[in-house]
C-alpha cells in the first residue's frame, strides 16, 4: 500500500529524531511492501524563520490531506521573546484545533530492560509499567473564555473550564475503546467534589460506561490520582481525564518511566486520522550534538501504524525492534547516564532499522 505522511520536523532535535524515524519507517516499508511518501512541511520556529508565521496555511493543508501527521518538536530560545500568539508552541495548539485532534493518547510504559531508570523503587514498579493516559485536547480551560476584569483588589484575570456532554462523551468512548484492547480498566480523573464541570464529567462518563459493561470503571479525584500514580501506578490501565488534569498527570506519569526520550504520543480525531509526536520538546541544550534519543519519535511512528494506518503487525515490528535494541544493551546518552559508549541519534536509528 501507499501512504502519504505529512512530516513536520520542527526545531532543535526535532529534525534529527525525525530523520531516524523515516529511516525506520522505510525499513518497515521494505519488509512489508509499503511505500511511505513523506511530505515535509514547516511549523514552529522553522516556519517563523522561513515565512514569518508559526503555522503557514500550506502546513495545515498538507497535514489535512495526508493519511497521518508525524511531528518532531517545536520551540527554542531563539523565539522565546516573541509574544504568546506568535510563539512556535502556538502552532501546536492551532494544529490540534484545525485538525480536530481532541483525543491525546500518551502511553507511559516502563520497558522491563529500563526498569532501573524509573525513580520509583523496584517493588513498586515491578517488572514494568504500562499505562495509557487519554487526555481531552481541544476543550476545557485551555480553550475556554478568558479575560481581565477590575475588582476591589485590583486587576484580576480568569480562565473558564467548560465541558459539554458531547465533548465528554467522545473522549470517554476513546478511553473505553482503548481499555477494551488492553486490561479493561478505565480510571476517570476529575475534581467532582468541587467543580461543577467535573460533576458533569463524572455523570457523563458513567452514562457512556453503560455501553461498555465489559470494562471496569472507577473514579479518582485529581489530587488522589496524582498521589496514587506514585504510590501504586500498576493499579492503572487507561486514565481518562480533561485537558488541564491530563497535561499535568501525563508529565507525572512520564517521569515515572524515567526516560522522556522514550515516550511517544498520539492525538486523534473521529475516525482514524491522527498526529503523532514524541512527548519531549525540542531539547535545545543537546540539539546538534547527536545525543538526542530518537526512540520516542520512532515509537510514535509505531502508534501511527497501529491507530491510523491500521497496520498492527508493522507497529509490532517497530516495538519489537526497540525491545530487542534495549535487551541487547544498546543505550543512548539519556539512558546510560552519559556513558562513553552511548549510541548517537544516527547509530540508534541505524540499529533499530536493521532490527526491523
Q: How many CA atoms lie within 13 A of 48 on its CB side?
A: 21
Region of 73-81, 306-314, 319-327, 346-354 interacting with ligand NAD (CB under 6 A): 73-81
CB of 283: closest distance to ligand NAD in angstroms? Answer: 4
CA 8, 245, 262, 35 torsion: positive or negative? Answer: negative
Chain-centre distance for alpha carbon 322: 18
Cell of 252: 507525572
Indicate whether 260 belongs to the interface with ligand NAD (CB under 6 A): yes
CB of 303 closer than 8 Å to CB of 277: no
Residue 31 annotated as binding? no
**Is 251 among the catalytic positions?**
yes
Annotation says 109 is catalytic: no
Respond yes or no: is residue 223 known to be catalytic.
yes
- Residues 288-307 contacting ligand NAD, CB under 6 A: 292-293, 296
- Which of 142, 221, 346, 350 is labelled catalytic? 142
User: Of all residues in the chain, what percent are helix, strand and coil, respectively (each to 5)?
Assistant: 45, 20, 30
Pick the catalytic residue from 49, 159, 211, 223. 223
* Phi/psi of residue 334, nearest 5 degrees: -65, -25
* C-alpha to C-alpha distance for 59 and 53, rounded to whole angstroms: 11
Which lies closer to ligand NAD via its Cβ, residue 217 or residue 333? Answer: 333
- 162 and 197 Cβ atoms separated by less than 8 Å: yes
- In the complex, the smallest distance separating the C-beta of residue 278 from ligand NAD, rounded to whole angstroms, is 6
Which residue, 142 or 221, has its beta carbon nearer to ligand NAD?
Answer: 142
139 labeled binding residue = no
Instruction: Kindly provide the residue ranges of all beta strands, DSSP E only, lying in 177-328, ordered along the sequence.
Output: 185-190, 216-221, 238-241, 264-268, 274-278
**What is the separation of C-alpha 10 from the centre of its chain, rounded to a whole number of angstroms?**
16
14-32 vs 295-307: helix crossing angle, rounded to 10: 50
CA distances from 291 to 20, 47, 298, 312 (A): 13, 24, 15, 30
Of residues 26, 53, 89, 130, which one binds ligand NAD by CB under 6 A?
89
User: From CA 244, how far away is CA 223, in angstroms rounded?
Assistant: 13
The reply, when asked if residue 337 is annotated as ligand binding, is no
Under the binding rule (CB under 6 A), the answer on residue 185 touching ligand NAD is no
> What is the H or E stretch that residue 320 is in?
helix 312-327
Tell me if 75 contacts ligand NAD by CB under 6 A.
yes
191 catalytic, yes or no?
Answer: yes
Q: What x/- string results for residues 330 through 349 when contact with ligand NAD is judged by CB under 6 A? A: ----x---------------
Neighbour count for residue 32 (Cβ, 10 Å): 14
Ligand-binding annotation for 327, yes or no, is no
> Under rule CB under 6 A, which residues in 17-56 are in contact with ligand NAD?
17
Cβ contact 277:73 at 8 Å:
yes
Least distance to ligand NAD, CB of residue 313, Å: 26
CB of 305 to ligand NAD, least distance (A): 20
- 288 annotated among ligand-binding-site residues: yes
Nearest-approach distance from CB 88 to ligand NAD, in angstroms? 7
Binding residues with ligand NAD: total (CB under 6 A): 22
Binding residues for Mg(2+): 223, 247, 251
**Positions marked catalytic:** 142, 191, 223, 247, 251
Residue positions in the annotated binding site for NAD(+)? 76-89, 281-293
Residue ranges in contact with ligand NAD by CB under 6 A: 13, 17, 73-76, 89, 92, 260-261, 277, 280-286, 292-293, 296, 334
Enumerate the known binding-site residues.
76-89, 96, 106, 135, 223, 247, 251, 281-293
Amino acid at each position: 500500500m501507499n501512504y502519504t505522511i505529512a512530516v513536520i520536523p520542527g526545531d532543535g532535535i526535532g529534525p534529527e529524531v525525525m530523520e531516524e524515524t523515516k529511516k525506520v519507517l522505510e525499513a518497515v516499508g521494505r519488509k512489508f511492501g509499503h511505500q511511505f511518501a513523506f511530505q515535509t512541511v514547516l511549523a514552529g520556529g522553522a516556519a517563523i524563520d522561513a515565512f514569518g508565521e508559526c503555522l503557514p496555511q500550506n502546513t495545515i493543508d498538507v497535514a489535512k490531506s495526508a493519511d497521518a501527521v508525524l511531528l518532531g518538536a517545536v520551540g527554542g530560545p531563539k523565539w522565546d521573546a516573541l509574544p504568546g500568539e506568535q510563539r512556535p508552541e502556538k502552532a501546536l495548539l492551532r494544529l490540534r484545533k484545525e485538525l480536530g485532534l481532541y483525543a491525546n493518547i500518551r502511553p507511559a510504559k516502563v520497558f522491563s530492560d529500563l526498569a532501573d531508570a524509573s525513580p520509583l523503587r523496584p517493588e513498586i514498579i515491578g517488572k514494568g509499567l504500562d499505562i495509557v493516559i487519554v487526555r481531552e485536547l481541544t476543550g476545557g480551560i485551555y480553550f475556554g473564555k478568558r479575560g481581565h476584569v477590575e475588582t476591589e483588589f485590583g486587576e484580576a484575570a480568569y480562565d473558564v473550564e467548560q465541558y459539554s456532554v458531547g465533548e465528554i462523551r467522545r473522549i470517554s468512548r476513546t478511553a473505553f475503546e482503548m481499555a477494551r484492547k488492553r486490561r479493561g480498566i478505565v480510571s476517570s480523573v476529575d475534581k467532582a467534589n468541587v467543580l461543577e464541570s467535573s460533576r458533569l464529567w463524572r455523570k457523563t462518563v458513567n452514562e457512556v460506561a453503560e455501553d461498555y459493561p465489559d470494562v471496569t470503571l472507577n473514579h479518582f479525584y485529581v489530587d488522589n490520582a496524582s498521589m496514587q500514580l506514585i504510590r501504586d501506578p500498576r493499579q492503572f490501565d487507561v486514565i481518562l481525564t480533561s485537558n488541564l488534569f491530563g497535561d499535568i498527570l501525563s508529565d507525572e506519569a512520564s517521569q515515572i518511566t524515567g526516560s522522556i526520550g522514550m515516550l511517544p504520543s498520539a492525538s486523534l480525531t473521529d475516525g482514524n486520522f491522527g498526529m503523532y509526536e514524541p512527548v519531549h520538546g525540542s531539547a535545545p541544550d543537546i540539539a546538534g550534538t547527536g545525543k538526542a534519543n530518537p526512540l520516542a519519535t520512532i515509537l510514535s511512528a509505531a502508534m501511527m501504524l497501529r491507530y491510523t494506518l491500521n497496520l498492527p503487525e508493522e507497529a509490532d515490528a517497530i516495538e519489537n525492534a526497540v525491545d530487542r535494541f534495549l535487551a541487547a544493551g544498546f543505550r543512548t546518552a539519556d539512558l546510560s547516564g552519559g556513558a562513553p559508549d552511548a549510541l548517537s541519534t544516527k547509530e540508534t536509528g541505524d540499529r533499530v532499522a536493521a532490527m526491523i
